Amino acid sequence: MGESLVQVRNLGIGFTSQAGATLPILQNIELAIGEGETIGLVGESGCGKSTLALAMMGYLKSGLQVLKGGSLFRGVNVFDMNERALEDIRGGNLALIPQNAGQSLTPTSRIGRQIGESVKLHTMLAKDQRRERVIELLSHVRLPQPEDMLERYPHELSGGQQQRVAIAMALAGEPEVLLLDEPTTGLDVTTQAHILELLRELAAETGTAMIYVSHDLGAIARVSDRIVVMYAGELVLEGPARRVLKQPVHPYARGLLLSIPRLKESVVPTSMPGRPPSPGRAGQGCGFADRCPMAVQRCHDEKPLLEPTASRELVRCHFHERVELLSPAEPPRRPNRANVDELDSILRLDDVAISYDKPGIVDQILGRQPNVTPTVDKIDLTVRRGETVGVVGESGSGKSTILRAIAGLLPPRSGTITYEEDESLNTSVDKRAKDLLRRVQLIFQNPDASLNPRHTVAQILAQPLRLYFGLGNDQLRERSVALLERVRLGADYLERLPSQLSGGEKQRIAVARAFAAEPDLVLCDEVTSALDVSVQAAVLDLLTQLQADRGTTYIFVSHDLAVVRAIADRVAVLYQGRLCEIGPSENVYRFPSQPYTEVLLGAVLEPDPDTRPALVAEDVADLFPPDKGCPFQRRCPRRIGDICDNETPPWQPTELGHAIRCHIPLAELHRRQEQSANTAAEKLEVST
Amino acid sequence: MTTTNIKHVQKKSALARPLAVLLAVASRPSGLVGLILVTFHLLLAVVSPAITPYDFKEMSPQLTLVGPSFEHWFGTDNLGRDVFTRTMLGGRQALLVTTIGTVFAITWGGLLGVLLGLVGGRLDELLMRLVDAFLCLPWILVLLLIVVIVGFGPSVMILTLGFFFGVPVIRMARAATHDVVALDFVTAARARGESRSTIVGRELLPNVLDVLLVEGAMRWSWMLLTFSSLSFLGFGVAPPTPDWGLMISNARGYISIAWWAALAPIVALSSLIIGINMFSDALAKALGIDRAQKAPV
Amino acid sequence: MVRLIARRLVLGVITIMLVSGVIFAGLELLPGDACTAYLGQAAQGKRLDNCRQDFGLKRPPMTRYVEWIGGAVRGDFGISPKGKKPVSETVSNRFRNTIILGATASLLGIPLAILLGIIAALWRDRAPDLWVSATAIFAMTIPEFVTATVLILIFSVWLGWLPGIVVTQPDAPLLEFLSDIILPIIALALIMTAHILRMVRTSVIDVMASDYVQMAQLKGVPYWQRVFRHVLPNALLPTINLVALMIAWLLSGTVVIEVVFNYPGLGRLMIQAIFFRDLVTVQAIALILAALYIGLNLFADLLTFVANPRLRTMRSRQP
């Protein structure tokens, strides 16, 4: 191991609160990064990982200060450097690839100019050479038509393209270390996979060291040589990637990995109780002691130090040898369902098309619909009572739109939505009977926005109770407390305001609110997407529990395929507002048949060093659906010709309620998939 | 002195929040000063008739343009009237008209704005075009015209100013409503099937109210400004009623020889307006409302 | 982009038409008409009738409106009942004077405001900012006539440097005006500067805290280069619109300033016209001011279009 490029020594960073106390955000950080290494820095929100990454560049957000120690770059403490020296190394030796590239690129400056700025600052190239270099960089990150790209403005590019530009800009200074702060958050699954592959290749080609900060263990697993796990501002585990992922020796890391849903199993992952401490609250002992399954008194009194283990790891736990012996908690089994066909249908969508475009004045006068391609089209779906149907797709797939139509917020342009065989849900909310409204409830993605910030929890829960059951004040309190209990919150929550609750708690209140109506059908719109991984597991657990108790039907929309796998009986795959495949999750996930499903599932990143994504489609975003034919026509790797452009692919049913939409006959499709799998396996053999 | 933000105040009674707001404002130095100034002026306006040493109309032909003296603390004006008395009383008409006028403006503008923000559609578009066209007219023109033709007196002024200042409030209330309506909790209420009045009353208004309050405070100071400008131009208060704007206008004629007659009302008017501004600034910060462009995290 | 500009222009013209309609209708709806207003007490019987006949007030409103607009476009605003002179005569040199006042104040005030605003933002919360901001807030909140009067107090009464009142004739050549108009220009410029300065300051502070400026810093871009390349272009963009709106506001401000200093401009003329209840003149001035205002708004919009890359590169959805 040569000299470390970056060495963090006993770093402590904190801020002074309004009351005058100094609260730490980071404590006792020890980290060394050598040349060409990729370190994955993982932790949940609030653990301080972004602060750490920025601190390595000598940058602190306003209000923060260094309390102890420092971060060395090639032996010199960055916090001792003057402004000039920092300007030199930032971009030139240590380069940042930011989280939200769209917001990190100057809106009034052309792409070529911004990247050129970096080249000018950190290399010795002359003006004409600089232009060449920028073009070179842009093609290096696989952006099409680099000469054109030079003249564009950031807002003209898609999210994936912006991220690539950010990468090119970071590479412009020819840095030795790349700092990546959640670079793929917010990108589509397929785009994300492509960007990660690009990063791996670049790292291998240029020998640049990378520090990859993320909460997404799947991404971390793909790129890292070593993984560092952070909790409550401290390092708790560091070691070779494979070791950390397969056999974590810290109870938090273990709990974290257990709480991530996996593609291959249909179980709700185990959640960790409690929540991370706020900065400065951690007391004398181990920060994880309150939530640790093997905590004893010593853990609460004495802070553990980082100790090396035999397998070249560093771990902060008194009893790390015992972690391996912890038996995995029993995950809640999902109830065995009777044969799907025997359940009666609770909801049916027949050839539903939905459009956001409203008719203009002329059309309104003539009483006709605008002749625009609908956002969502040709949806046929039957939902059985008591089951969970997952709806997956990337951005633009129309999954939320369908939920809104069912809820009555957006009437369908054509087709019918039938509830329980006889009631029509084609009407909008104002025209529906109250009882019908009661039986169909909606839970939203963002807990910050779905609760009225000026209402207390009691008021929030009271609203559906009053609206649907006409309860008076005395009964309200009783019922509300019962509801809170069902979502595992105490009665003391009644008087709290949303701003005093954590994300997970807010989402539980949202669930309680939905269940206050005693609904038959609950529509979940990305309800776990805004939550931390460990909290996500708890909410999923809650939902399945409620379903087991009450026989509620769920339609669960998410872009996270693993989450849907954990909770759904059947899954429907959407692309650009059209159905591609639908069937029991077991079948769809294990044997994806439709080309888009293949691509989608292939791109998912799992926190497992042995899996790798299969990138089969071009990384080009489709902004809107085509007028006719198969929605996937522009990107499909198995496209057979004009028929894909012109004709709607027919439904091809398979065994057990599984159906796909494709022009290629099923048998042929399977054969070709086998072929690709074989070719891929051969390639792998050749390369190793 | 710690500054408080009232976001975390729990609602114990109907009075709890307004009290908490006042405390939050007072906890800021600028807010405290503003609050003191405003309260002072309001009190002065109420009690001044009882405590003035002279009658404001009383003219003393011999004592015209006398400088500050023991009998006349602020001197006398060109008609021998006591400037101190007139200054103390000078804000009454202005405050009466502008307080009522502001309440009127915020109420009608706010309600209409919220309604338009909710309903949208063609009515909304049509009305907003009218609003835009209306705001194109220089205010002074419109006010002067109305005042000249209809006449002036407190009630006319209240109605006119209230109407005029309510128009921009429509736009602002509409924008605030749009912001709130976009949030999921309003959609959730709609999806539940809550009646429109419940949505407006329980979901929208409590969140829009804060913005309206801050706007109200700001409009108040502008209305005061406008009112005094009108008086200055001779179209506000009728003499001999004392009014700061009118006093300053009169004082201009002999400013080179008796500048104190202008200074007193200037100080009075300025202190009130600055007080209101400081108060509304502190109010905005206490309520967590960012009035300027969007602030980053 | 040409289509967008054309659209805005058409919209502007339509707005002017709408506003002219509002002005005309407004005056129609108010009790009385040009004659009753002008004649005041004497507005009755034969005299009223004759007056109405002379001014064609007996014809239907639409006809009068069309005639008025038609004339206005050509610069003919009709005859004023007071003095029986064509309105355009009285208005034209006052118009010139007001433009001089407004234009000079703007040319002085705007660059100064931008400069001071940037300085206040870059040295935020330190001495330069505290001084500049405090003065600006003062000038902003206090009514224009008060500020103007204070200026007269200081510079004319106490220091005696400049004349406080304009005594030159309205149609006098420019040179005679010069010493007279210094104080009014300063007064107007001061208030404008105060408003614009605050907006610029807020804008710069906001932009300096944005992600992309932070990114530039993390790229190693030195401070001043950051300020000029990344901060200012983005901070000044929204202020362009505000500046143009400010100039429009200026129109209202000039009225007060003109009265305070007795300056022979459009504003003072309007006050006099209102005083004498000369509705014809009032109508004319209202239209001119409104048109100016709308024109300036339009100019602001167009300027923003040109300057904002996001708007320049708007593309329609093409498959």
Interval A456-504: pLDDT, tens: 999 999 999 999 988 888 888 899 999 999 898 888 899 888 988 888 8
- Interface residues from chain C to A (CB-CB < 8 Å): 210-223, 229-230, 233-234, 237, 308-310, 313, 317, 319
Question: Of the given ranges (A132-141, A635-644, B103-112), which has the lowest mean pLDDT?
Answer: A635-644
Q: Which of A541, A542, A480 is nearest to A511 (CA)?
A: A542
pLDDT of residue A522: 95
Report the range of poorest mean pLDDT among A417-431, C5-19, C184-198, C214-228: C5-19
Q: How confident is the model at residue A136 (pLDDT cuts 50, 70, 90)?
A: very high
Is B24-287 assigned to CATH 3.40.630.10?
A: no
pLDDT band at B3 (very low <50, low <70, confident <90, very high): very low
Residue A524: the pLDDT is 95
**Residue A111 confidence (pLDDT) above 90:** yes
Give the pLDDT of residue B25. 83
Q: What is the pLDDT of residue C218?
A: 94
Inter-chain CB proximity C146 and B233 less than 8 Å: no
**Residues in chain A closer than 8 A to B198 (CB atoms):** 467
A611 interfaces chain B, CB cutoff of 8 Å: no
**Is there a contact between A419 and A425 (Cβ–Cβ < 8 Å)?**
yes
The pLDDT, as a whole number, for residue A52 is: 93
Q: Which chain B residue's Cα is nearest to A103?
A: B296
Contact call for residues A40 and A237 (beta carbons, < 8 A): no
Question: Which residue, among C125, C316, C312, has the nearest Cα to C237 in the 3D structure?
Answer: C312
The encoded tokens of residue B122 equal 């063609």
- The answer to whether B1 contacts chain A (CB < 8 Å) is no
First to last CA, chain C: 20
C60 against B111, higher pLDDT: B111
Among B3, B184, B187, the residue to mutate for chain A (most A Cβ within 10 A): B184
Question: Is A117 in contact with C219 (Cβ distance < 8 A)?
Answer: yes
> What is the mean pLDDT of the segment spanning C230-235?
91
More confident residue, B211 or B6: B211
- In total, the C-beta contacts within 8 angstroms joining chain A to chain C are 84
Residue A366: the pLDDT is 65
Best CA proximity match to B231, nearest among B275, B257, B269, B272:
B269
Q: Taking a C-beta distance cutoff of 8 angstroms, is the pair A72, A244 a contact? A: no
Other chains touching C, judged by 3 or more CB pairs under 8 Å? A, B
pLDDT of residue A331: 59
Least confident piece of the model among A281-285, A438-442, A674-678: A281-285
pLDDT number for residue B185:
92
Task: Find the helix or strand (DSSP H, E) in which A574 lies.
Answer: strand A570-575
Residue A632 scores a pLDDT above 90: no
Using CB atoms, list chains with 3+ pairs below 8 Å to chain B. A, C
d(CA B22, CA B37): 14
CATH 3.40.50.300 fits A4-93+175-325, yes or no: yes
Please give the share of chain A, as a percent, with pLDDT higher than 70.
92
Q: Assess whether pLDDT exceeds 70 at residue B7.
A: no
- Best-predicted range by mean pLDDT among A201-205, B196-200, C212-216? C212-216
CB A606 within 8 A of CB A221: yes
Residue A34: which residues within 8 A CB-CB, separation 6 or more?
Answer: A1, A2, A3, A4, A5, A209
Q: From CA B270, how far away is CA B265, in angstroms rounded? A: 8
Domain with CATH 3.40.50.300 in chain A: 4-93+175-325, 340-576
For the ranges C102-116, C117-131, C264-278, C301-315, the lowest mean pLDDT is seen at: C301-315
Provide the pairing of β-strand A651-653 with A659-661.
antiparallel
Task: From chain C, pick out residues whose CB is under 8 angstroms from the CB of A92.
Answer: 220
Contact between C219 and A59 using a beta-carbon 8 Å cutoff: no
CATH number of C96-278: 1.10.3720.10
Binary contact (B2, A463; C-beta < 8 A) = no
Q: In this structure, are residues A273 and A546 in contact, taking their beta carbons and an 8 Å threshold? A: no
Which range among A20-24, A368-372, C32-36 has the greatest average pLDDT?
A20-24
Q: What is the pLDDT of residue A281?
A: 65
pLDDT at residue B258 tops 90: no
Structure tokens at A346: 């609770």
**What number is the average pLDDT over the span B243-248?**
87
Chain B residue with the nearest C-alpha to that of C284: B141
pLDDT at position A282: 61
What are the tens digits of pLDDT across the range A197-249?
Answer: 888 888 888 889 999 999 888 889 988 999 999 998 899 999 999 999 988 99
Query: What pLDDT does residue B71 have?
Result: 74
Inter-chain CB proximity B293 and C206 less than 8 Å: yes
Chain B and chain C share a number of CB contacts under 8 A equal to 133
- Name A389's Cβ contacts closer than 8 Å, sequence gap at least 6: A381, A383, A553, A554, A555, A556, A568, A569, A570, A571, A572
> What confidence tens digit (pLDDT) does each residue in A509-531 have?
999 999 999 999 999 999 988 88
Choice between A628 and A163, residue whose per-residue pLDDT is larger: A163
Is the CB of residue C269 less than 8 Å from the CB of residue C90?
yes
Q: What average pLDDT does range A73-99 have in this prediction?
A: 92
Top-confidence residue, A540 or C32? A540
Interface test with A, best of C218, C240, C313, C317 (most A CBs within 10 A): C218
CB contact (8 A) between residue A153 and residue C219: no
In the prediction, which pLDDT does A555 show? Answer: 94
Choice among A359-368, A478-487, A639-648, C236-245 with the minimum mean pLDDT: A359-368
Secondary structure (3-state) at A178: strand
Predicted local confidence at residue A346, as pLDDT: 86
Q: How confident is the model at residue A532 (pLDDT cuts 50, 70, 90)?
A: confident
Residue C172 banded pLDDT, cuts 50, 70, 90: low
> What pLDDT score does C316 carry?
36
The token pair that represents A384 in the structure block: 């059985």
Yes or no, beta carbons of A104 and C215 under 8 Å apart: yes
Averaged pLDDT, C181-207:
87
Instruction: Mutate one of A62, A448, A452, A529 to test the B interface: name it (highest B CB count within 10 A).
Output: A452
B244 is written with which tokens? 């700061």
pLDDT at B41 over 50: yes
Terminal-to-terminal C-alpha distance of chain B: 24
The alpha carbon of residue C245 is apart from the nearest alpha carbon of chain A, in Å, by: 23
Task: Determine whether the interchain pair C156/B256 forms a contact, defined as Cβ–Cβ distance below 8 Å.
Answer: yes
Task: Report d(CA A219, CA A184) in Å as an integer.
Answer: 9
What pLDDT, on a 0 to 100 scale, did the predictor assign at position C96? 82
In the A/B pair of chains, how many CB contacts fall below 8 A? Answer: 67
CA distance B177 to chain A (A): 14
Average pLDDT over residues C172-193: 78
CB contact under 8 A, C259 and B232: yes
**Residue C1 vs residue C305, higher pLDDT:** C305
Reported as a single tens digit per residue, the pLDDT across C282-297 is 778 878 877 887 777 7
Can you give the pLDDT at residue C299?
A: 79
DSSP 3-state assignment of B106? helix
Looking at residues A404-423, what average pLDDT do you find? Answer: 87
Find where tokens 């108040």 sit: B220
Nearest C-alpha in C relative to A153 = C309
Does residue A342 surpass a pLDDT of 80? no
Question: Per-residue pLDDT averaged across C76-84, rounded?
Answer: 66
For position C80, what pLDDT does the model report? 66
> What average pLDDT is seen over chain C?
78
- Mean pLDDT of the A330-356 span: 70
* Contact between chains at A449 and B184 (C-beta distance less than 8 A): yes
Angle of helix C232-261 relative to helix B139-150, nearest 10 degrees, comes to 30
pLDDT for residue C315: 45
Position A659 pLDDT exceeds 70: yes
**Where exactly are the structural domains of chain C?**
96-278
Indicate the domain borders of chain B: 24-287
Q: What is the maximum alpha-carbon separation in chain A? A: 79
Per-residue pLDDT of C241-280, as tens digits, reads 777 667 667 777 788 888 888 888 888 888 888 777 777 7
Strands A414-419 and A423-424: antiparallel
Give the mean pLDDT of chain A: 86
Q: Who among C18, C274, C293 is closest to B144 (CB)? A: C274
Whole-angstrom CA distances from A85 to A72, A81, A179, A183 are: 13, 6, 18, 26
pLDDT band at residue C317 using 50, 70 and 90 as cut-offs? very low
Q: In whole angstroms, what is the distance from residue C241 CA to residue C236 CA?
A: 9
Enumerate the residues of chain A whose CB falls inside 8 A of the CB of residue C313. 152-153, 155-156
Whether pLDDT at C128 is above 80: yes
What does the alpha-carbon distance between residue C35 and residue C141 come to, in Å, rounded to a whole number? 39
- C149 in contact with chain B, both atoms CB, cutoff 8 A: yes
How many angstroms separate the Cα of A415 from the Cα of each of A348, A349, A421?
Answer: 11, 7, 15
Residues of B in contact with C31 (CB under 8 A): 149-150
* Residue A137 confidence (pLDDT): 92
Burial state string for C279-301 with b = 16 or more CB within 10 A and e = fewer than 16: bbbbbbbbbbbbbbbbebbbebb
Q: What is the pLDDT of residue A40?
A: 94
pLDDT of A116 > 90? The answer is yes
Q: What band does A395 get if pLDDT is binned at 50, 70 and 90?
A: confident
What's chain B's average pLDDT? Answer: 80
Q: What percent of chain A has pLDDT over 90?
A: 29
What is the pLDDT averaged over residues A105-121? 92
Measuring CA to CA, how many Å separate A596 from each of A79, A643, A649, B213? 50, 17, 13, 53
What pLDDT score was predicted for residue C297?
75
> What is the gyration radius of the CA atoms in chain B, in angstroms?
22
Query: How far apart (Å, rounded) are the C-alpha atoms in residues A27 and A39?
Result: 19
**Domain spanning A340-576: CATH 1.10.8.50:** no
Residue C146 pLDDT more than 80? yes
**Residue A338: predicted pLDDT:** 46
H helix and E strand count, chain B: 12, 0
